[in-house]
Amino acid sequence: MLKNIFGNKARSVLIKEFDKKLVKTGKMQKRFLPVLKKVDSIKQKIKSKKLSQTEMDLVRREAGELIRELVDYSQRKELASVEKGVIFVQGKDRKGEVVLTDIASFFVEGGKFRKFTGKGLVDSNSGEFEDAMKKTEDRTKVSFDSNVLDILKKEIGEFSLTI
């Protein structure tokens, strides 16, 4: 789980990252740091067969809680990043979403995907849209040029944006 969040690093580095980026910033409870360290050290005890059943049950229960919290954190992080690149557009009689990706900007209206180009909107498909979403790296910063707004004005007339 930690490798999914922080990347493929050594166990000791992952534990330090967990402490620095999740515990100290308040995104995870402090009580999970000792649990993580216990899980790491328990591996050595299992290899040397010096682990009692009571210890194993305790660690299993605590590790289960830690895993649930990590899954919850990952899902919150993913949801926040996906929502970050979406701008809701409300026109007089039309509404849709502008979805900003690293590759292109899309206008999604009623299940129909259209991509912004220099000249206007062109038809697209869900495959191209999903591909662009997967290839978008950092969703903490999103940007688009004024051309997108001009094209929207031509397409749907007066509109309001909800971010």
Encode pLDDT of 104-149 as tens digits. 889 999 889 999 988 889 999 988 988 888 787 765 566 778 888 8
pLDDT computed for residue 20 by the predictor: 92
Residue 92 CB partners (closer than 8 Å, separation 6+): 156, 157, 158
Containing H/E element for 33?
helix 32-48
The answer to whether 84 and 133 have CB atoms below 8 angstroms apart is no
pTM: 0.54
Q: Which domain holds residue 6?
A: 2-82
pLDDT computed for residue 58 by the predictor: 84
Residues 116, 105 share a domain: yes
Residues 78, 35 share a domain: yes
Residues 76, 40 share a domain: yes
Residues 76, 90 share a domain: no
Residue type, 1: M
Residues 93, 78 share a domain: no
Residues 151, 89 share a domain: yes
Residues of the chain with pLDDT under 70: 78-84, 138-142
The answer to whether 59 and 38 have CB atoms below 8 angstroms apart is yes
Number of domains in the chain: 2
How many helices and strands, by DSSP H and E, does the chain display? 6, 6
